[in-house]
Structure 1
Amino acid sequence: MESTELESRARSLIDATLVWDNHACMPLRPLDPGFLPQLERHRRAGFDVVMLNVGFGDQGIEEHMRMVAALRHWIAGHPEQYLLLERVADAEEARRSDRLAVGLDIEGANAIGDQLSLIQIYRQLGVRWMAMAYNRNNRVGGGCQDDEDPGLSDFGRAVVREMERVGMAVCVSHTGHRTARDVLGYARRPVIFSHSNCAALRAHPRNIPDALIRDCAATGGLVGINGVGIFLGANDIASETYARHIDHVVQLVGPRHVNIALDYVFDRQELDEYMEKMKHTFPAGLGYELGGRFVAPEQLTEIVATLLRWGYDETSLIAILGGNMMRVMSELEEGTKQ
């Protein structure tokens, strides 16, 4: 089949189904909304939902709360184009009304400090998932780039239980492998690797081995494939390379346990400045010195066309594009009603 015909089929499928990007990064500047109109790129590419982080790493409670407030305020001020993803039903409403639903996420449990009660507040404000760590160890457990991962702490177990209680997805991206295994064994509800790639295809501390992918699927959870070049390959952002990471998960655990999470960074200058400031936290030899290259939202059609060329059927693609996220988030949301 010709590539033009495949891309036409891909575009028709994208237009006919709900599409969810589970992680993207806008500038974390609460007084500067200048980049936010670029979310239109996601909508034009065919996405119905995009998740934005409100903080990461060592940032504290105030920094996270200020970004939550800023994003909620901006979204509320643009109701014809966007709506806040507060309930799973908002994803379908966004699709029906030709808008983009915007959800919130947190990269690393430093966002709650030592205060469990903040988890429910974040969830009420629109945070749908929180990662246990961001590369480095914290109160909850180990990060994927610290020398020694201590595993899930007692406080971390309390965090997992509280997140499950309020219907927030527990994420183990950026988390050390020992802590991730502990979480996967301890959780009672689906766990997600919100944006992690396959170590079998690209050896890197941020990527995850097949055993963890299988353990995640066993919880009913998902592995979201990110579009960061140094995690996909040698700073490779080709659509086919991205699709190979999707396919690897599918071959291991089936199409019900993988989704899209591009991790697209809109403000490259902010990223470069952060990498320079924090270079002591990014070990040499892992590709960080190459600079950030990312699979763009506009590559969605080409990614789907690649999977069609490899023989993926529409049922599997509908699941990967958004159905899997809807299933897991619906299960978490329903669990809060019991």
Structure 2
Amino acid sequence: MLSFLLAAGAAKMAQPQAEPANMNQPKRPRGLKPTEPLLSRKDWPVLYREGIVWDAHACLPLIPNADMSPLQRHREAGVTYVSVNVGMDFNPLADCIRVIAGFRDWLAKHDDHYCLAGSIADVARAKETGKLAVSFDLEGSMMLNDDLAMIGLFRDLGVRQMHLAYNRDNQIAGGCHGEDQGLTDLGRAVVKEINRVGMIMDCSHSSRATSLEIMQLSSKPVVFSHSNPSAVRAHPRNVDDIQIKACAETGGIIAINGIGPFLGDDRTETILAHIDYVVKKVGAKHVGIGIDYSFDQVHTDLPPGEDAAYWWPKTSGVDFGKMAFVPPERWPAIAVALLKNGYSEADATAILGGNFMRVAGESWT
């Protein structure tokens, strides 16, 4: 099966298929009708207006030359930085490279409001100049084609965060809907190389065994960039107390996910319930937010011939056309809710972005 997938990826690399002209525009964008009242800018807390706001994961359509202008919603909501997915385990290497090329080109052509961030200094400058800082993340490792040298190349192209298995087991690591596989020998080498080249080591979508092994092996902080505590919402995508504590012991972060099946619903108070739980377990310095917002509810990013039910089992509750998403516009309300629920300004600032600035500072060098 692996040789077939790699051969298919190589064939696509040799003969990339043209995309229809209208495929670079998202279809039926989400969030046009907010489910909660939106805060006007004048009601944003000072710490929100002045601090770093870090969204650890978001998704645009994985198609060549995609329009990134939907990210303006993050910018208008006061977000400083967002990590954007550029490929999952089912996306062949050639496709991932074309997505990255298109994103880099778009960002370069819109540098009045956006910047490709490679360092925390870039993120800080984006805050000072009113720009949205963007970098990329990979969800899975099959696009490496078993080649460690690809990790450094992806970093050079703007990838700053990576996990090793998207839902299913692969030749490197185990996925959360797999057989609880741990790291392979190649997987252990991949973790070390991610640490060496300077990316954030992520464990979202990974199996429990893989995540615990990564956290034991990694020399840098490890994060769950968009996962929730399973004690609050039982789901295979979420993480248990042992995983939460192991993550904190690396100096890492559990970033709360805003997708309904993993959260429970899309209410701000539910986000706070997940934050509260993790804070009580390991402290505010190990909590962040990665709302995992998908800007397109039609395009699933699956290549032709892939089975959606394999990657997203029906029992997972994942239905991109129906499930609830916490939208980017909710960020200011989350800041207000933290303060109203008794969090100090220092802890609220850390949760909203300060913690990820710390981890990126330790990981991106």
TM-score, normalised with respect to structure 2: 0.85
The structure 2 residue matched to 1:265, chosen from 271, 294, 303, is: 294
* Aligned equivalents of 1:237, 1:4: Cα separation in 2: 14
Amino acid at match of 1:226: N
The structure 2 residue matched to 1:85, chosen from 107, 117, 120, is: 117
Query: Is residue 2:51 matched to residue 1:17?
Result: yes
The structure 2 residue matched to 1:282, chosen from 296, 312, 316, is: 312
CA shift for structure 1 position 272: 9.6
* Aligned equivalents of 1:39, 1:150: Cα separation in 2: 35
- CA RMSD of the aligned region, Å? 2.1
2:22 maps to which residue? Answer: none
The structure 2 residue matched to 1:39, chosen from 50, 55, 71, is: 71
What does the per-residue CA deviation read over 1:108-156, in whole Å, with 9 as the maximum and x for residues that have no partner? 011212100010011111101111110000111110001x122111000
CA shift for structure 1 position 277: 5.0
CA shift for structure 1 position 291: 2.7
Residues 128 and 273 (structure 1 numbering): CA distance in 2 closer, same or farther, change over 3 Å? Answer: closer
Secondary structure of 1:75's partner? helix
CA shift for structure 1 position 232: 0.5
- Does structure 1 retain, via aligned residues, the 8 Å contact 2:163–2:201? yes
- Does structure 2 retain, via aligned residues, the 8 Å contact 1:94–1:100? yes
* Aligned equivalents of 2:301, 2:360: Cα separation in 1: 33
The structure 2 residue matched to 1:175, chosen from 203, 206, 218, is: 206
What does the per-residue CA deviation read over 1:48-103, in whole Å, with 9 as the maximum and x for residues that have no partner? 11110001122121111111111111000011010001111110110111110111
Query: Is residue 2:328 matched to residue 1:294?
Result: no
Greater mean deviation of Cα atoms: 58-67 or 203-212: 58-67
Amino acid at match of 2:326: V
Residues 70 and 256 (structure 1 numbering): CA distance in 2 closer, same or farther, change over 3 Å? Answer: same
CA shift for structure 1 position 326: 0.6
Q: Which runs of 5+ in 1 are unaligned?
A: none
TM-score, normalised with respect to structure 1: 0.92
1:63 maps to which residue? Answer: 95
CA shift for structure 1 position 229: 0.5
The structure 2 residue matched to 1:128, chosen from 156, 160, 165, is: 160
* Seq. identity, %: 43
* Aligned equivalents of 2:311, 2:251: Cα separation in 1: 33
* Aligned equivalents of 2:302, 2:224: Cα separation in 1: 27
Amino acid at match of 1:121: L
CA shift for structure 1 position 4: 11
Q: 1:138-157 maps to which residues of 2 (within 5 A)?
A: 138-146=170-178, 148-157=179-188
* Aligned equivalents of 1:113, 1:149: Cα separation in 2: 22
- Does structure 2 retain, via aligned residues, the 8 Å contact 1:19–1:49? yes
Q: Which runs of 5+ in 2 are unaligned?
A: 1-36
1:213 maps to which residue? Answer: 244
